[in-house]
Amino acid sequence: MPDSGISRRRALQLLAGAGALAAVGGCDSDTTPTTVTTIPPVTDTTITSPVLEPDVRDLHVGLWAEPSTASIQAGVTTEVFSYGARVIEGDVASVVDSGSYLGPTLHLRQGQRVRVTFENRLDQESIVHWHGLVVPQDQDGQPAEAIPPGETYEYDFVVENRPGTYWYHPHPHHLTGSQVYQGLAGLLVIHGEEGSLADTVNDLALVLQDRTIDPDGQLRYVAMMHDVMAGFVGETLVTNGVAGYEAVVRPEPYRIRILNGANSRTQYLTWSTGDQLHAVATDGALLPKTISVDGLVITPAQRTDLWMDFSQFQPGDRIELLTADMFIESAGMMGGGMGGGGSDDFGLNLIPQTAASFIVGETTPVHGEMPTAPGFDPTFGAEDAVNADAPKEFVLSTRRAAHWINGTQWEGRSVTELETVKAGTVELWDFVNFSPMPHPMHLHGMAFRVVSRTWEDDGLAEAWSGIEDGVIESGVRDTVLVWPGQRVQIAVPFAEHKGFFPYHCHILEHEDGGMMRNFLVI
């Protein structure tokens, strides 16, 4: 895939910064190794602000999934699955190669008509889902649409969503976890009127994942029943497709789009400098007000965009984004839920590891004013719900070594009364978590608001008190953390597209295990 001119130019500018940095770092003596040798080239992975042609124009992209190889750890060749793409018709800047096993970043415009010809070059069925996009049922890339090896699927939709950070990934039932794990995922950025963030020219993205790499360099996935129950957590942090991710940044403000692309790792993010994290967008939209937190909670599939001004640091400074796995070990995991004798073992152990390192380059610093109100208040709320007096209840539970939604699992296109909704209406849905672990619940087809969190039982109340401030949901979300013991109420604005749409836990091993249902929009 050819690089777009703008990103190559930017990469070179950043590398110029790295060169200057070497001069700074190596100034005391000739024997001091220069820092530059440890800095990998800044690839296009980080740059998500290509210059798109200003007028809305149709786009036709060819996209394929295929077996490939990648260098996740330096010097090691690993077999992966990978998305590739090319622009068949339209603005060539719309597809930006990731430089890793990750799929190319797709840059779409609000209001644009997008056609995608997806070709399955794997030896197993697959289908592409546009996570967070409001599209008709047959454009959503649902399990029922999975195509066999060698076939193609034609997408043709209009971008209805707000500008923001989205992503795409496979969705064949029972295979989503393993296909994402093997490398099938990519960022999707929607451009358009962006409130007060429009001036932030520096824009980079981080896709946070984890992998377990065998001594022979190959990916190891679910090994035991435990991985299926708890969700698979890899031993090595992999960011933007590589272990030990580093990037050179300019001493300027950045918008940093973060996707938790891990199969199951809910993460608690901090800056190594002790700085607060300034969140300006969540999932599908800019926040009404910038939220500053000491630590940020991000579940699988969630996106949070940060604003970070690197001009407050010195050339050569190294600023690390740290992540702690919020996995909860529990002796009662395989048993009947809360209070099954394992409650003493519940607890968070927030041990930070480095997810990404930024080295400040030596260009003239540009200071920036942090936006305080980047976005807009959501236009709907609990008061708009047609069932304001009687919220629908969806109980999440764990028994017989499986996870359940209202005592049911995936049944394809068969829905209950609760799961039947009217197009264009807002409903209140309560997720109640009686299982011993957190579940990030995702609905296809819209972004919703979180109305309230209350306690149904003690659950993991103690652990919650340590992370509560890092849960940002003053804007909209399409994936919400449902903590053990909590009732989380969301206001869901169902779109006008009629038909079946999945909702599920975004711990991919739970989803593949059947913790997924459809709702039907009539």
What does the block give as tokens for 516? 């997924």
Task: State both tokens at 99.
Answer: 């430089």
Selected binder of ligand C2O within 131, 439, 487, 517 (CB under 6 A): 131
Residue 107 partner contact from Cu ion, ligand C2O, none using kind-dependent CB cut-offs of 5 to 8 Å: none
Does 444 bind Cu ion (CB under 5 A)? Our answer is: yes
In the complex with ligand C2O, the residue whose CB is nearer, 342 or 499, is 499
Q: Does 301 bind ligand C2O (CB under 6 A)?
A: yes
Q: Least distance (Å) from ligand C2O to the CB of residue 87?
A: 24
d(Cα 333, Cα 354) in Å, to the nearest integer? Answer: 28
Counting residues that bind Cu ion (by CB under 5 A) gives 6
Closest CA to 207 of 174, 183, 177, 234: 183
Residue nearest to ligand C2O (CB): 131
Which residue, among 126, 119, 129, has the nearest Cα to 150 in the 3D structure?
119
Confirm or reject binding of residue 129 to ligand C2O (CB under 6 A).
Answer: yes
Minimum CB separation of residue 104 from Cu ion in Å reads 19
Structure tokens belonging to residue 180: 């994402």
Count the Cβ atoms, other than its own, within 10 Å of residue 228: 18
| Residue 504 lies near Cu ion (rule: CB under 5 A) | no
Asked whether position 326 contacts Cu ion by CB under 5 A, the answer is no
Query: Considering the complex, what minimum distance in angstroms separates the CB of residue 66 from Cu ion?
Result: 23
Q: Does 444 bind ligand C2O (CB under 6 A)?
A: yes
Choice from 507, 508, 516, 521 touching Cu ion (CB under 5 A)? 507
Q: What part of residues 8-67 is at the interface with ligand C2O (CB under 6 A)?
A: none
Nearest residue to 185 via CA among 298, 104, 71: 104
CA 130/CA 490 separation, integer angstroms: 22
Q: Is position 405 an interface residue for ligand C2O (rule: CB under 6 A)? A: no
101 closest CA partner among 56, 66, 126: 66
| Rounded Cα–Cα distance for residues 265 and 300 (Å) | 6
Does residue 131 belong to the site contacting Cu ion (CB under 5 A)?
Answer: yes
Using rule CB under 5 A, residue 191 touches Cu ion: no
- Nearest distance from C-beta of residue 445 to ligand C2O, angstroms: 10
Q: How far is the CB of 274 from ligand C2O (least distance, A)?
A: 33
The residues near 272 (Cβ < 8 Å, ≥ 6 apart) are 318, 319, 320, 321, 322, 354
Is residue 102 close enough to count as binding ligand C2O by CB under 6 A?
no
10 binds, among ligand C2O, Cu ion, none (CB under 5 to 8 A by kind): none
Q: Beta-carbon neighbour count of residue 517 at 10 Å?
A: 23
Residues in the chain: 522
Q: Which does residue 505 touch among ligand C2O, Cu ion, none (CB within 5 to 8 A, set by kind)?
A: Cu ion
Identify any residues that bridge with 157 across adjacent strands, giving them in sequence order. Answer: 114
Q: For the CB of residue 143, give the shortest distance to ligand C2O in the complex, in Å.
A: 8
Per-residue x/- marks for ligand C2O, 475-514, CB under 6 A?
---------------------------x-x-x--------
Name which of 172 and 502 has its Cβ closer to ligand C2O.
502
Answer yes or no: are the C-beta atoms of 48 and 205 closer than 8 Å: yes
Total chain residues near ligand C2O (CB under 6 A)? 10
Residue 361, Ramachandran bin (φ over 0: left; ψ between -120 and 50: alpha; else beta): beta
Determine contact, residues 187/106, Cβ cutoff 8 Å.
yes
The H-or-E segment that residue 306 falls in is strand 303-309
Check residue 439 for interaction with ligand C2O (CB under 6 A). Answer: no
Residues 142-181 that bind ligand C2O (CB under 6 A): 169, 171
DSSP letters spanning 474-506: SS-BSEEEE-TTEEEEEEEE--S--EEEEEEES
Binding residues for ligand C2O (CB under 6 A) = 129, 131, 169, 171, 301, 442, 444, 502, 504, 506
Binding residues for Cu ion (CB under 5 A) = 131, 439, 444, 505, 507, 510
